[in-house]
């Protein structure tokens, strides 16, 4: 492996018609790390991942996988890859065990079916037909299928979209477990808390371009030493908002939701309480927090990840 890099991408371009879906992006993914492509819907994350998985061919750009330069992902490379598609189905009348056996047969090397069933906690559902599984169980089975060949690199496209909080937490545990086994994981998500919790490095995409990349700590650190204070108020007028702005470095508000950025928490909190008393206003959902990747995206694009 060249310099402990599992994957290197340089100048990757992909157009759909005249629309650039991926517009000259470059990044490197170190071995045994979790690398996350983060961005809103339509940012180009899935197209990037589909090129890396071999589903689509790039218009131009360089791709080096396991030290091998390639224009299109080869069958040999696929032997070492595990893929969880965002948009893929399973034959509904086959049992979980049969599905895993089927996919295992496509690879030269595979783990035992029972091992996979234990890994994704589906042993008790081994004989259940796919059509009877819940969304979370189906997603766990899809992860099991992606891991059936004991891959060196695992692509997970929006692995927790549509899952309930408990199922999402289970998926995080599986991903963390893979990382501790030394697997390289390339992940896409539009959940910033997921990217923060799981990633060693994050690449933030918007309109097909990379607008920031680094570790979650590096990226949030770029916003300085500021602290954020968030709260809701029932009603307020323009003059009152102006008074509030004077006790912080920066103020944003979206309807009744206010966010104050400050480098002097003591001063701002004191000013905020005085303002509340003067306005006879009650705070709801008051929260003091550090900046996160959502704030990074907001600062760089003026939009939230979910817009």
Which residue, among 78, 46, 72, has the nearest Cα to 60 in the 3D structure? 72
Among 18, 105, 266, 280, binds other proteins (CB under 8 A): 105
Among 3, 4, 93, 166, binds other proteins (CB under 8 A): 93
What's the rounded Cα separation, in Å, for the pair 132 and 141? Answer: 12
102 binds other proteins (CB under 8 A): yes
What's the rounded Cα separation, in Å, for the pair 269 and 110? Answer: 58
Binding to other proteins (CB under 8 A) within 58-87 occurs at: 75-76, 78-79, 81, 83, 85, 87
129 binds other proteins (CB under 8 A): yes
Closer residue to other proteins, CB minimum distance, 75 or 217: 75
107 binds other proteins (CB under 8 A): yes
19 binds other proteins (CB under 8 A): no
Closer residue to other proteins, CB minimum distance, 16 or 304: 16
Residues that contact other proteins, how many (by CB under 8 A): 30
By DSSP bridging, strand 250-254 and strand 81-84 are unpaired
- φ/ψ of residue 24, rounded to 5: 75, 45
126 binds other proteins (CB under 8 A): no
Binding pattern for the stretch 151-170 against other proteins, x by CB under 8 A and - elsewhere: ----x---------------
What's the rounded Cα separation, in Å, for the pair 194 and 37? Answer: 11
224 binds other proteins (CB under 8 A): no
18 binds other proteins (CB under 8 A): no
**Which single residue is written with the structure tokens 């896409």?**
188
Name the minimum Å distance from CB 241 to other proteins.
Answer: 47
20 binds other proteins (CB under 8 A): no
- φ/ψ of residue 72, rounded to 5: -140, 145
Phi-psi region of 3 (alpha: psi -120 to 50; beta: other; left: phi over 0): left
Closer residue to other proteins, CB minimum distance, 89 or 255: 89
Phi-psi region of 12 (alpha: psi -120 to 50; beta: other; left: phi over 0): beta
Name residue 214's beta-bridge partners: 202
What's the rounded Cα separation, in Å, for the pair 88 and 60? Answer: 26
Among 19, 55, 257, 278, binds other proteins (CB under 8 A): 55
What's the rounded Cα separation, in Å, for the pair 197 and 19? Answer: 33
The secondary structure of residue 4, as a DSSP letter, is: G
Contact positions toward other proteins, by CB under 8 A?
A: 16, 53-55, 75-76, 78-79, 81, 83, 85, 87-94, 98, 101-103, 105-108, 129, 145, 155
């Amino acid at each position: 492996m060249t310099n402990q890099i599992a994957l290197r991408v340089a100048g990757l371009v992909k157009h759909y018609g005249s629309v650039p879906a991926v517009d000259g992006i470059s990044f490197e993914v170190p071995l045994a790390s979790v690398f996350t492509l983060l961005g809103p819907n339509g940012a180009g994350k899935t197209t990037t991942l589909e090129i890396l998985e071999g589903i689509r061919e790039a218009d131009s750009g360089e791709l080096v996988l396991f030290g091998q330069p390639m224009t299109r992902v080869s069958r040999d490379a696929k032997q070492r890859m595990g893929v969880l598609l965002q948009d893929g189905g399973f034959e509904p009348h086959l049992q979980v065990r049969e599905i895993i056996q089927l996919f295992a047969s496509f690879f030269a090397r595979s783990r035992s079916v029972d091992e996979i069933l234990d890994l994704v906690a589906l042993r008790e559902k081994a004989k259940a037909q796919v059509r009877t599984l819940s969304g979370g169980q189906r997603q766990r089975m899809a992860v099991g299928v992606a891991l059936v060949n004991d891959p060196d690199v695992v692509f997970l496209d929006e692995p927790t979209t549509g899952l309930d909080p408990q199922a999402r937490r289970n998926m995080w545990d599986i991903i963390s477990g893979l990382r501790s086994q030394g697997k390289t994981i390339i992940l896409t998500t539009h959940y910033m808390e997921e990217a923060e919790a799981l990633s060693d490095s994050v690449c933030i995409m918007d309109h097909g371009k990379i607008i920031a990349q680094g570790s979650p700590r590096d990226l949030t650190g770029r916003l300085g030493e500021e602290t954020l204070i968030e709260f809701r108020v029932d009603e307020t007028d323009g003059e009152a908002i102006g008074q509030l702005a004077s006790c912080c470095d920066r103020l944003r508000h979206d309807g009744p939701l206010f966010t104050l950025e400050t480098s002097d928490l003591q001063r701002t909190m004191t000013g905020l309480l005085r303002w509340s008393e003067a306005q006879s206003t009650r705070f709801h959902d008051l929260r003091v927090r550090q900046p996160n990747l959502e704030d990074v995206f907001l600062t760089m694009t003026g939009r939230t990840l979910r817009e």
